Amino acid sequence: MSVDDAKRGAERKAALDYHEFPRAGKLEIRPTKPMATNRDLARAYSPGVADACMAIAEDASAATRFTAKRNLVAVITNGTAVLGLGNIGAQASKPVMEGKAVLFKKFAGIDCFDIEVDEADPERLADLVCRLEPTFGAINLEDIKAPECFAVERICRSRMGIPVFHDDQHGTAIVVAAAARNALHLAGKRPEDIRIVAMGAGAAGVACLTMLHKLGVPKEAITVFDKDGVLHPGRTDLCPEQMAFAHAPKDTVLGDALDGADMFLGLSGPGLLPAAAVSRMADKPIIFALANPVPEIMPEEARAASPGAMIATGRSDFPNQVNNVLCFPFIFRGALDVEASQINDEMKLACVEAIASLARKTTTAEVGRAYEGERLSFGPDYLIPKPFDPRLLPTIALAVAKAAMDSGVARRTIDLDDYRRKLEAQVFRSSMIMRGVFDAARQSHRRIVFAEGEDVRVLHAAQAMLADRSDKPVLVGRPDVIRARIEREGLTLVVDQDVDIVNPENDERYRDYWQTYHEAMKRRGVTPDLAKAVLRTNTTAIAAVMVRLGDADSMICGTFGQYLWHLNYVRQMLETDDLSPAGALSLVILDDGPLFVADTHVNIEQTEETLAWTVIAAARHVRRFGIDPKIALCSGSQFGNLDSRTGRLMRGALKTLDRTECDFEYEGEMNTDVALNPELRERLLPGNRLTGKANVLIYGSTDAAGAARNLLKTAAGGLEVGPILMGMGNRAHIVTPEVTSRGLLNIAALAGADVSSYG
Ligand SMILES: NC(=O)C1=CN([C@@H]2O[C@H](COP(=O)(O)OP(=O)(O)OC[C@H]3O[C@@H](n4cnc5c(N)ncnc54)[C@H](OP(=O)(O)O)[C@@H]3O)[C@@H](O)[C@H]2O)C=CC1
Ligand SMILES: CC(=O)C(=O)O
Ligand SMILES: [Mg+2]
């Protein structure tokens, strides 16, 4: 088996494992109301539920008040045009539909049921969809092939009072139109003056051409091809939507049609655009080769044929990824929030303009952080925003909601300034928070050494890192053990090629390493023999010496043993006048957003001075995630009402912080619930200096911070990133024994991000 085959096999296994473990599929349903007592039961179910039913029976619009309808979207397919895989059937399409549902939730907080229907007949399918109206706030039709998709959508739109949107048609058309608008701007051309050749007259192709026509491209300036050749007036196999673009002469061939054309739009299949035809196009042609997963022409081929070409594909590994994920979560968010009865042309055009304008605007610090190292200034390689651009949600949903209200299809009027603020706050309430860190790591060239390189979790993390980064991770461990475990785990890591190994039992650097350790420790009771023994047996010390000598930029240890034991060796080798541990910060990602807790491991009993230092370091690290820190000093005491140890400690630290002129919000001392509940805080501590919910909780001892961290992880189901060792310039991180391979991957991303300014 070739290395490529092995890698493809491993990727396939990883994708299947992702879908299968730890439980099958990508979705679950969770209740939003308590169900703990008889009283809850009586309200949620009989008899209380009858009151909600009767309120809706009297006034159907009350369903959006008393049920989850308003935020619930159906992703519906019959599996007849799944991605570029074709008609693979309803059952096989389910992973895609679950995936769309996940994107709705993660990008825009929208709940979805995925519904796969075994029904090829468009009228029967449409009838079934129409009957679902009582359940949903909106319908997203997905991967239904042309021409049936046109009829299904037409029937549903005419009969339903909620938005019906065929994503492959309109989502794609909106993103294509935004990219085309920007490309034309750069080419200095007007839509009215250009000529387009399109390959693919399916759901996506027809909708994109219709949208481009709405933007000003004359229909006569568009020539379309499908499997049977050019669309011409004599064709009898086409539906009205396709006939609208069938005006080319019958004998037109692709190469001739492309002569002098300004734009190629491919929504068909792989490799269908010959490079020779590209060289016949106008100067600086626009080439959108959007078939998934393999485009009509690969970007490098197109560029070789026409060096000035502006190129987009559907793929994330090239610039200008045109994918409807840039649109559908956000257009639905806006439509649902004003209870729009439909998604009309005004809303779609507002969406086009919002997406196009985001790419033209100067990027914000958050986007810069999220895509560190990539050129994000408007130009041929940045025609449209990136999928993880945090501006997408507030900008698009706001524009769509406004267009719905202005065009009279909104049933609810909202205050747009309030709405913008709400949307902006929502952006960071998700695990997307780690995305920026991963992208920053991908762009940097920091070498990471794992002290416990034989641990299978480390091996899995190292394998996952390779997909994203060019630098080889370094593993401390015995090569034969590492090789055997790689094989046993079915990983494809190749020692020396993909990872470097430092063998504690036999390594040419051993002498250099023990001498370095001895030199640093000789006046702290370490003899040469002891230094040799430590560097033979203690992998944490080896990793720390490597970082000290510059053989690695950052180390990760701690998959076994006690945190402070590891910290001891980190300090011995890496502590300097400028770098000193300031505390351990744990980021816990909860359903309603991220929460940071410190110090969970370093300062067992804080002093006023160490506590203030922990707070300042935490603020710096929280900003690294693009979040404004709002720090609460937590204690059993509240604004001086207890003469307890932590009460006094917090009050002292607060005074130190006040003298330090901090540029972030902090306040204390207060109880944890008061920190997290702004209304309660306003009532109990009027005039306090925090705005909104605190997002960083600082405690006076590792006992208290550790308990908060563990409760958030276990009882509240939070996902932890960390602990992040603060103060050591990102040169060392110490995980805890329960860490998973994903947790190690997260920490490796943090360690790998080139953020020397964060200590
Ligand atoms: N990047 C993105 O965001 C999106 C990409 N797509 C991609 O676009 C493609 C089409 O999707 P969709 O419109 O939903 O599918 P449809 O099945 O509705 O349409 C496919 C179209 O491509 C044409 N086609 C297929 N093979 C050839 C060929 N060898 N030569 C000429 N024409 C051909 C078909 O012709 P005929 O009608 O004669 O069979 C049909 O017109 C897929 O690869 C899909 O992944 C789709 C949506 C979004
Ligand atoms: C992106 C998408 O929806 C498709 O390829 O079908
Ligand atoms: Mg699709």
Domain locations along the chain: 67-162, 170-322, 327-427, 439-574, 583-725
Look at residue 439 in the predicted model and tell me its pLDDT. Answer: 74
Q: By the 8 A CB rule, do 735 and 557 touch? A: yes
Bridge partners (DSSP) of residue 660 are: none
CA of 32 to the centre of ligand 1 (A): 40
Using a 6 Å cutoff on CB, does residue 707 contact ligand 2? no
The order of strands in the sheet holding 310-313 is 229-230, 222-226, 196-199, 263-266, 286-289, 310-313
Does residue 426 have a pLDDT over 90? no
Which one of 3.40.50.720, 3.40.50.10750, 3.50.50.60, 1.20.1260.120 gives the CATH number of domain 583-725? 3.40.50.10750
Q: Helix, strand or coil for residue 289?
A: strand
Which ligand 2 atom sits closest to the C-alpha of 292?
5
User: Does residue 100 carry a catalytic annotation?
Assistant: yes
Mean pLDDT computed over 586-594: 87
Look at residue 371 in the predicted model and tell me its pLDDT. Answer: 54
Rounded Cα–Cα distance for residues 365 and 613 (Å): 26
Look at residue 374 in the predicted model and tell me its pLDDT. Answer: 58
Q: Any binding-site annotation on 142? A: yes
Residue 615 corresponds to which amino acid?
Answer: V
CATH superfamily of 170-322: NAD(P)-binding Rossmann-like Domain (3.40.50.720)
Residues in the chain: 759
pLDDT digits (tens, 9 = 90+) for 364-393: 544 554 555 555 678 999 999 988 888 899
Bigger pLDDT: 322 vs 756: 322
Q: Which of 82, 168, 297 to mutate to test the pocket of ligand 1 (most atoms within 8 A of CB)?
A: 168
Q: By the 8 A CB rule, do 639 and 621 touch? A: no
Using a 6 Å cutoff on CB, does residue 292 contact ligand 2? yes
CA of 245 to the centre of ligand 2 (A): 23
pLDDT digits (tens, 9 = 90+) for 97-156: 999 999 999 899 999 999 999 999 999 999 999 999 999 999 999 999 999 999 999 999
Q: How confident is the model at residue 488 (pLDDT cuts 50, 70, 90)?
A: confident
Mean pLDDT computed over 207-212: 97
Look at residue 756 in the predicted model and tell me its pLDDT. Answer: 43
Q: Which of 78, 149, 268 to mutate to test the pocket of ligand 1 (most atoms within 8 A of CB)?
A: 268
Using a 6 Å cutoff on CB, does residue 275 contact ligand 2? no
Bigger pLDDT: 6 vs 183: 183
Range with lowest mean pLDDT among 29-43, 252-266, 270-284, 723-737: 29-43
pLDDT digits (tens, 9 = 90+) for 396-418: 999 999 999 999 999 999 999 88
Query: Measuring CA to CA, which residue among 371, 384, 397 is closest to residue 322?
Result: 384
Look at residue 350 in the predicted model and tell me its pLDDT. Answer: 97
Q: Any binding-site annotation on 84? A: yes
Smallest CA separation from ligand 2 atom 6, residue: 83
Mean pLDDT computed over 608-625: 94
Look at residue 722 in the predicted model and tell me its pLDDT. Answer: 86
Using a 6 Å cutoff on CB, does residue 64 contact ligand 2? no
Using a 6 Å cutoff on CB, does residue 168 contact ligand 2? yes
Bridge partners (DSSP) of residue 264 are: 197, 287
Look at residue 759 in the predicted model and tell me its pLDDT. Answer: 36
Ligand positioned closest to the Cα atom of 172: 1
Look at residue 45 in the predicted model and tell me its pLDDT. Answer: 93
Mean pLDDT computed over 336-341: 97
Does residue 430 have a pLDDT over 60? no
Same fold, 170-322 and 583-725: yes
Using a 6 Å cutoff on CB, does residue 313 contact ligand 2? no
Mean pLDDT computed over 485-510: 88
Look at residue 365 in the predicted model and tell me its pLDDT. Answer: 46
Range with lowest mean pLDDT among 54-58, 217-221, 358-362: 358-362
Report the topology of domain 439-574: Rossmann fold (3.40.50)
Can you tell me which residue has the tokens 């439509």?
A: 335
Q: Any binding-site annotation on 679? A: no
Q: Any binding-site annotation on 82? A: yes
* Helix H or strand E encompassing 634: strand 630-634
Look at residue 139 in the predicted model and tell me its pLDDT. Answer: 98
CA of 264 to the centre of ligand 3 (A): 21
Q: By the 8 A CB rule, do 618 and 629 touch? A: yes
Token pair of 290, please? Answer: 């959007």
Does residue 481 have a pLDDT over 60? yes
Q: Any binding-site annotation on 88? A: yes
Can you tell me which residue has the tokens 């987009």?
A: 312
Cite the DSSP H helix spans in 338-382: 345-360, 365-370
CA of 177 to the centre of ligand 1 (A): 17
CA of 324 to the centre of ligand 2 (A): 7
Does residue 2 have a pLDDT over 60? yes
The rounded mean pLDDT for the chain is 92
Which ligand 1 atom sits closest to the C-alpha of 321?
1
Rounded Cα–Cα distance for residues 292 and 266 (Å): 10
Query: Measuring CA to CA, which residue among 653, 616, 661, 659 is closest to residue 637?
Result: 653
This prediction has a pTM of 0.72
Cite the DSSP H helix spans in 298-387: 299-305, 328-337, 345-360, 365-370
- Angle at CA of residue 149, ends 144 and 150, nearest 5°: 165
Look at residue 436 in the predicted model and tell me its pLDDT. Answer: 72
Using a 6 Å cutoff on CB, does residue 83 contact ligand 2? yes
What does R_g of the chain's alpha carbons equal in angstroms?
Answer: 29
Rounded Cα–Cα distance for residues 720 and 433 (Å): 12
Which one of 1.10.10.10, 3.30.450.20, 3.40.630.30, 3.40.50.10380 gives the CATH number of domain 67-162? 3.40.50.10380
CA of 74 to the centre of ligand 2 (A): 17
Look at residue 367 in the predicted model and tell me its pLDDT. Answer: 54
Which ligand 2 atom sits closest to the C-alpha of 84?
5
Q: How confident is the model at residue 442 (pLDDT cuts 50, 70, 90)?
A: confident
Using a 6 Å cutoff on CB, does residue 205 contact ligand 1? yes
Q: Which of 82, 232, 267 to mutate to test the pocket of ligand 1 (most atoms within 8 A of CB)?
A: 267
Catalytic pick among 69, 94, 100, 402: 100
> Strand runs (DSSP E) across 431-504, as ranges?
448-450, 474-476, 500-502
Rounded Cα–Cα distance for residues 477 and 543 (Å): 11
Q: How many CB atoms lie within 10 A of CB 421?
A: 12
pLDDT digits (tens, 9 = 90+) for 727-750: 999 999 999 999 988 889 889 988
